[in-house]
Amino acid sequence: MTRLYRPLLQELGITYTQYVTLLALWEQDGLPVKGLGSRLYLDSGTLTPLLKKLEAAGLVNRIRDGADERVLRVYLTEQGRALQMQAANIPQELCRVPGIDLQELEELRVRLQSLHGRIHHQVEEESSDGYRHEP
């Protein structure tokens, strides 16, 4: 799937992982790094270099929260917000690939999120009490 995105994202100068990170920020700017990592299912070892690259490209800023210095928040820059307009047509462009249907992709995304949620819930239960629970 990421290969389908590659030529579209190359025009914008970003990778697929950077794109999904920006998607999350376009949806909700100013997320804490920890919350962004949870939302993207990325650990800090992956997320920190990713955010540094986005920051070096001028697309985001990482800023300490004024109310709690321990919290680092990620904000879009003007350039990062402007990129949203350039990327707006990417889902429609994917539908030009023969055999790809936007509705079908959306249904798959919802199903995968649901599956991931159930798996995450199961893992959390197992790690909270140390026992494996049978479904």
**DSSP notation for 63-132:** EE-SS-TT-EEEEE-HHHHHHHHHHTTHHHHHTTSTT--HHHHHHHHHHHHHHHHHHHHHHHHHHHHS-P
pTM metric for this prediction: 0.78
What is the band of 99 on the pLDDT scale with cuts at 50, 70, 90? confident
The per-residue pLDDT for 52 is 97
pLDDT in tens, 23-33: 999 999 999 99
Q: What values do phi and psi take at 61, rounded to 5?
A: -130, 140
Q: Which of the residue ranges 22-26, 93-97, 105-109 has the most confident prediction, judged by mean pLDDT?
A: 22-26
CATH of domain 2-100: 1.10.10.10
- The domains of the chain are located at 2-100, 102-135
Do 77 and 59 meet the contact criterion of CB atoms below 8 Å apart? yes
Mean per-residue pLDDT, 42-62: 96
- Is residue 42 within 8 A of residue 16, CB to CB? The reply is no
127 or 90, greater pLDDT: 90
**Given this model, what pLDDT does residue 132 score?**
52
